[in-house]
Amino acid sequence: MKTGITFRVTRYFLVVAALVSLTCCSKDESEEVKDADGNTYHTVVIGDQVWMKENLKTISFRDGSWMLTQLYDDVEWASAGAACCIYPPAEIDGLDNEGEVISAYGRLYNWYAVDDSRGLCPVGWRVPTYDDWNQLMTFLGGEDVAGGKLKSTRTEPVEHPRWDSPNTDATDAESFTALPAGYRTSLGAFEGVGSWAIFWTSDEYDASFATTWEISSYDAVMDYSYDRKRSGRSVRCIKE
């Protein structure tokens, strides 16, 4: 009789332990991280990586120093060092001011901000490498489907943040919530909000270009490219 009781008690504790383990380790279990400006980000576990679920918003480096910002003038942007900018609210139907744009899509950074030794991401976090993004893409099943699994399902006409229709094959299966912040060219033009989510890596290609990964509203593809370092792109941080 004692043996039977012991077995049932042991089995009970094993089941409870398993449930607790599943609860604690769920990819939907999110911690909160703050950047140097006090902006709060949620996180998600995908495979053995931990990613931020929102685009970076800070204008400060890890040590509290500021980068150049508010560079709406094309010439200033094209010649800037480490800098960030905001997609102009006047060019986004449904958003009225800079604060709404930042809240919805974050800021756009040039690669000099990404590469700055003062650190763009919070302590314990970093800008992902090409290999980090490639590992994520591979884990999700390859370049032909990974973009769809990362894209938010929010699609026009819902309020911002959202993708333009058709937002093909978007499932946000991993709760990464990729959003189309668009981009800024090296000469200063703003393009692609609603249609493109393009993220910097920390990897340089050559003296003028660095590597990015991109997702569009038109298909489920996630692919890499090379963009001019003076371009403005989104940043997602990965846990060190």
For 86-120, how does the pLDDT look when each residue is reduced to its tens digit (9 = 90+)?
Answer: 999 999 999 999 999 999 999 999 999 999 999 99
Percent pLDDT > 70 in the chain is 87
- The set of residues, in sequence order, having a beta carbon less than 8 Å from that of 1 and lying 6+ positions away, is none
Nearest 5°: the CA angle 112, 108, 142 is 95
Q: Please state the domain extents for the chain.
A: 1-28, 31-239
> How many residues are present in the chain?
240
Render pLDDT for 111-156 as a digit per residue (tens, 0 to 9).
Answer: 999 999 999 999 999 999 999 999 999 999 999 999 999 999 999 9
Model confidence over 151-203: pLDDT tens digits?
999 999 999 999 999 999 999 999 999 999 999 999 999 999 999 999 999 99
Q: Where are the alpha helices (DSSP H) in the chain?
A: 2-25, 74-78, 98-105, 111-114, 130-139, 143-150
pLDDT at residue number 71: 77
Contact 170, 155 (CB under 8 A): yes
